[in-house]
Amino acid sequence: MGGPTARRWLAAGAALTLSAACVGPTDRTFVTGRIEPRQIRFVTIVETPPGEVGGWQAACIHIRISRDNTGESIVCKFGVETPLHTQEGPVSASLAQRIAADRINEATHSIFGAATLESPLGMLCESLKATLRTTVPASIVGAKVPVRCHAKSFPVQFGAFTL
């Protein structure tokens, strides 16, 4: 898949929002929206030899995090990589998509939901990646969340989390 049409599709991410709400004496945030599994695009990096454990697939995630009151904005970039076949069985692209989306949604709601208007955006990004480096491999044996996306994966931009 390539060309301008593919690039438009890949850029059409979920609209996820992180907003501030005043609750009592402190500012709190809440998160709305979700990344849908079909929005995460895994590509095969290494084919699985027939009847063997192995193979590799990768996806590239870019999540924009913005501060509404100042216009400050960063793009939190990371990869999600999984084997194609483990001792426990095959890891299809659709299974990897579902698990990655679930773990990303859980982590963003937890981390960004605890953020304040003063929370450094870079620190929120690093907390998200650190959480995913634990939760994704706990869900798929051998999976990893690298800081950089694999060269063969397509970056997919996901909406904006706005503080």
* The pLDDT of residue 94 is above 90: yes
Q: Is the pLDDT of residue 16 over 80?
A: no
Q: Which helix (H) or strand (E) holds 107?
A: helix 93-113
Task: Please state the pTM of the whole predicted model.
Answer: 0.81
pLDDT digits 0-9 by tens, 58-75? 999 999 888 777 778 899
Task: Indicate the domain borders of the chain.
Answer: 3-162
